[in-house]
Amino acid sequence: MKNLLAIAVTSASGILLFSACAKNNVPEGPNKPDAPITLISLAQPVKESMSGFSFTFFKTLMKEKPVNENIFVSPLSLHIALGMVANGAAGETRDEIVKVLEAQNLSKEDLNQSYRTLLEKLPNADPKTSLGLANSIWYKNSFAVEPDFIKTSKDYFNAQVTGLPFQPSDVNTINKWASDNTNGKIPKVIDKFDDGLVMLLMNALYFKGDWRAKFDKSKNQSKEFTKADGTKIPVQMMRLEDTVKYASNGNYTAVQKLYGSGQFSMTILLPQSGTIEEVFNQLNLQEWNALQGGLHTTKVALELPKFKLEQEFRLEQCLQTMGIQKAFTNVADFSMLSKAFTKISFVKQNTFGAVDEAGTEAAAVTTIGMILTAENPDAIPKFICDRPFGIIISENTSNTILFMGRITQPVSQ
């Protein structure tokens, strides 16, 4: 499992990583898949881009949130949504997006092809799990979109591209798309169309996998869960003796539990003495690969709390911290998307996650909103005194003010 492709969860005492298994790390022995593995072939720079972005994004977002707050997000969904946006960007705006995606060593064609591969291969990787990936672009009818951008979005992202009046009733149409592509788990992503909004770019990701070895509900116990601040809350703890992949490096222990036929898995990381933040902050692409190489098969007595989360994250600040700056400003260059001057107004992700005795169900919808900027940033500034204004007459070397005035009714002879 060389590359992290989907979802990360953190709570007050552990980290769970949901991931896709590549052929070069197929479990053996009792964990050997009971169906043929589907090879998802990605170039090494693509794998590094996906995994590196996943850890950087999650660690950046983790710093924004209180230590007692759950975080459940989809790095893959955000990566794909930003990848669509990148095709509409040019110059420094595109450079910043691509750098944050850790894809600066990839050509536009290679990056787009990797998205097409994932969209085609991931949903069919394991016949015993359900996985859906979908993209859509919604634009205001009066907004002129570049034909090449639409073609690229359809060809590589299989995106549904739809023009709408952006009237109040259209909100229901967009929310229905989100609901339909997440099995109803995310029924609403927008409440209204903000002023100036001309486009929404969306990615939906849905995953449902039954444990290969399920928990027995009759063995559940009510237990106390100690939060980061030391307070305790009751949880329903699932219990199972299972043969799993296991590793321990002194800072944390890791267990890898399989779904379905064995191509997808959940890796659970439990700190030994420090905090989740300390464990996660040491995780990067190299550490993740080292962990995979250190896993060995053994029998463990696993206890995992049941949980269900429904969350929404605004990600503008997180992405700006990571390095996407110009895309949010009036000097953004989205000339490959439209000749009109546009910028990103918001990036949000709605997520759902549930872990129980049978398995895991998870969903995410990433929504990126584009608005028109005030005007052409290269145009000569306009200063039209067609409303009350003020004047100051001063001597420049001493900065002495001679006269001051408020002109509310200018009258000329």
**What is d(CA 244, CA 261) in angstroms, rounded to the nearest whole number?**
14
Q: Is 322 exposed, middle or buried (0-12, 13-18, 19+ CB in 10 A)?
A: buried
One pLDDT digit (tens) per residue for the chain, 413 residues: 334 443 556 655 567 787 765 444 555 655 666 666 677 888 899 989 999 999 999 999 999 988 888 899 999 999 999 999 999 999 999 999 999 999 999 999 999 999 999 999 999 989 999 999 999 999 999 999 999 999 999 999 999 999 999 999 999 999 999 999 999 999 999 999 998 999 999 999 999 999 999 999 999 999 888 888 888 899 999 999 999 999 888 888 888 888 998 888 888 888 888 888 888 889 888 998 898 889 999 999 999 999 889 999 999 999 999 999 999 999 999 999 999 999 999 999 999 999 899 999 999 999 999 999 865 545 556 666 777 766 556 556 555 556 666 665 676 65
Tokens of 412: 């000329």
Is 215 strand, coil or helix?
coil
Shortest CA distance to 133 belongs to which of 125, 123, 146? 123
Q: Is 7-211+307-372 assigned to CATH 3.30.497.10?
A: yes
- For residue 286, CA distances in Å to 41, 257, 309 come to 20, 21, 30
**What is d(CA 198, CA 368) in angstroms, rounded to the nearest whole number?**
11
Q: Where are the domains of the chain?
A: 7-211+307-372
Please enumerate in sequence order all residues whose Cβ is within 8 A of that of 223, keeping only pairs 6 or more positions apart, or say none: 234, 235, 237, 303, 305
In order, the DSSP letters of 328-387 are GSTT---TTT-SS-EEEEEEEEEEEEEE-SSEEEEEEEEEEEEEE-SS-TTSPPP----S
**What is d(CA 249, CA 362) in angstroms, rounded to the nearest whole number?**
29
Torsion region of 230: left, alpha or beta (phi above 0 gives left; psi -120 to 50 gives alpha)? left
**What is d(CA 382, CA 341) in angstroms, rounded to the nearest whole number?**
17
Q: What is the pTM of this model?
A: 0.88
**What is d(CA 257, CA 155) in angstroms, rounded to the nearest whole number?**
36
